Amino acid sequence: MATQNFDIVVIGSGPGGYVAAIRSAQLGFKTAVIEREAIGGVCLNVGCIPSKAMITATHMLHKAQHDFPTMGLNIKGGISVDMKTLVNWKQSVCDKMSGGVNQLLKGNSVTVIKGEAAFKNSKEISVKSATGTDSITAKYFIIATGSRPIEIGGFPFDEKDICSSTGALAFNEIPKRVAVIGGGYIGLEISSYLKKLGTEVTVIEANTTLLAGVVDPDCAQVVARKAVKDGIQIKYGAKAKSQKKITSGYEVTYELNGKDEKIIVDKILVTVGRRPNGDQSNLKAAGITVDERGFVKVDAQRRTNISNIFAIGDICGQPMLAHKASFEGVMVPEIISGINRVYDAKTVPAVVFTDPEIAAAGITEAECIAKGYTDLLISKFPFAANGRAVSMIETDGFIKMIADKKTHVVLGVHIVGPDASNLISEAALAIEMGARIEDIALTIHPHPTLGETMMEAAEATLGHAIHIIQKPLNGAGKGAHI
């Protein structure tokens, strides 16, 4: 076939890639996006969206089973779960979102090309599909090929019994027993939804805490306590060694305190992290530099060492989050168009959809100290003191606020509790704009809402919260908001 020519070609249609393609087209560039699988990438099809659909459904199930009776709402005969229907509904959510992205690409005149892209040189790629191989040239390329689950020795993925998150979101039947290798955010999110369905869940975690190095330790403790309360078994300091197929399922062997222990399960979920796809797309042919971990090296404009090639999202480094990729997806086409931009975000908010949710913006207490902040104002405001949380029967957790004592500038906000994922955006804006504690405390928040906890946390950081009893911090109560 004849070679197709474009101004910008985006490789990958995930939350970074499809956004980059749309922005490129909006700026007047002749644009194409290459996708080897489903439009929307991992996040939309087998990651963020489907997992949140399952978490939402099982959260509702849990409330119906445990909170409704407390409220006097009695369901006669109990609730049964039709797993096939649940999975089909989950898939319909993904299909609806993917269809929406397709319409956006079409509406912006982006050419969608299905197939596997590989660089031939810095100006040309080949795209292999079921119908053959095509050549495509472009003035600029944006690599948005993402990442994939890390597979560990002895636990090869078949996505049926030994699964990554992809397989774990597609069970047609509720598994009776599951071993989850890795107590990070993916493993805990899936553990939470499976436990609510009635699965016996055992988490095998090599560290001595859950979510180690991922979230504020105080927040992680709340989630760990709730997981144990809900019946999830957690094996800390344990290392998965092997698995063996047996008549009753799988025998998983793990090392704990220097001794081998075994559990029998039906399914094994491996969630020890993700690795960038830097070993794909024949990047070497274009001369693109890839580091030893598989990340494409980029500068502050997300430009690689090859001037006409950019990289965004998981492929170019931490944090490996969809919203960071989308931000870069808007930025890079604007840079190509001549707008002088660089990646200079003060914070990238992060959310863990555990039970309860965890969300964070800014830096932790330990990171503050490491950066040289020697005098901090730190407070926690509990959701148990918030009327909206009480009325929802969701009072676990708190908002933890950290500020520089000298300037009162907010450095970090860490939330564990109901709707943390929605509450964190206010904190992200505050940190991005360099807000002081008083900026949050003096903003009138509507009542009764969970959002009031952000205002109260700011008041607590100043030493004079209304709805908790606390000693004024160095006389701060006398000084009010001055």
List helix spans (H) across 15-74: 17-26, 41-46, 48-66, 68-71
DSSP 161: S
- Measure CA of the first residue to CA of the last residue in the chain; give whole Å: 71
Q: Cβ distance 289 to 296 under 8 Å?
A: yes
Query: What tokens does 392 get?
Result: 């929802």
Ramachandran angles phi, psi of 375, nearest 5°: -130, 110
Identify which of 12, 60, 19 has the alpha carbon closest to the alpha carbon of residue 36.
12
Ramachandran angles phi, psi of 222, nearest 5°: -65, -45
Contacts of 144 (CB under 8 A, 6+ apart): 10, 11, 12, 13, 14, 16, 17, 20, 311, 312, 313, 315, 325, 329
Cα three-residue angle 208-214-218, rounded to 5 degrees: 65
Strands 162-163 and 267-270: parallel
Question: Among 445, 447, 464, 467, which one carries the catalytic annotation?
Answer: 447
Query: Is 59 among the catalytic positions?
Result: no
270-289 burial by CB neighbour count: b if 16+ within 10 A, else e?
bbbebbbbbebbbbeebebe
Identify which of 39, 11, 36, 43 has the alpha carbon closest to the alpha carbon of residue 104.
39
Ramachandran angles phi, psi of 60, nearest 5°: -65, -40
In 115-207, beta strands by DSSP E = 116-121, 124-129, 132-143, 147-149, 162-163, 177-181, 200-205
Contacts of 200 (CB under 8 A, 6+ apart): 176, 177, 178, 231, 233
Amino acid occupying residue 158: D
Residues annotated as catalytic (active site), given as ranges:
447
